[in-house]
Amino acid sequence: MARMRIALFDLDGTLTRRDTLLPYVLGFCLRHPLRLLQIAVMPWHVARYFFRHHDRGELKQALIIAGLRDATRAEIADWNQRFVARLIRTGMHAEALQRVAAHRARGDYLVLMSASPDLYVPAIARALRFNETICTGVRWDGMSLAGQLTTVNRRAEEKLHCVQALRERYPGSHVTAYGNSASDVIHLHACDSGHLVNGSATATLEAARAGVAVGWPFESASAGTHHA
């Protein structure tokens, strides 16, 4: 029986040219100008992040609550259509989309894994024809957005836990993964073929130390070496 192939892509900085959460929230607020007053509290949360807790999940939750709380499902769905269409049209790395297409053409199981929230990551995954999405959950109160995180922030070691859970669900699978940040090196190293792409100098150094390949692979999408 053929070994299942999983292609695991990070979103921000890997597929996209920049982070998505702040443009998403600010774009929504610009369409609902009174909400701009609500995000005036964010400098306090940013200062608290840098000087006290350094909890990215807490900072993310604060931004979502400040900018999006009480938005309706219909408002979020409408904004998703606009945001995702523009993102795919102008905000993606062309080589990343080519790599996604190559894995899809081979019949690989495509997984989009991101620390960004499930407000819009699944919509991006559907537009790019991924098979599965793993991302940070956000709480709703019925038809209105509450904004609190319902999962841990899907970042760093948490992504490693997600990779391990994928392997448990699909035993014997071959996992090829792509990420762009130093925090991604942890889970890239645990995959059969991990690749750091679009990385900073710091991320590149971390990848080299861990033995993770740097750059998009020149070989076919199915090739790769074991890094675990």
To the nearest 10 degrees (0 to 180), the angle between helices 56-68 and 21-31 is 10
| Residue indicated by tokens 């929504």 | 28
Phi first, then psi: what are they for 112, rounded to 5°? -100, 115
pLDDT in tens, the chain (228 residues): 568 999 999 999 999 999 999 999 999 999 999 898 877 776 766 777 677 767 789 989 999 999 999 999 999 999 999 999 999 999 999 999 999 999 999 999 999 999 999 999 999 999 999 999 999 999 999 999 999 999 999 999 999 999 999 999 999 999 999 999 999 999 999 999 999 999 999 999 999 999 999 999 975 444 433 333
Distance CA 29, CA 31 (A): 5
Burial 134-147 (b: 16+ CB within 10 A, else e): bbbebebeeeebeb
In the chain, where the domains are located = 5-214
The whole-number pLDDT of residue 45 equals 61
The domain defined by 5-214 folds into Rossmann fold (3.40.50)
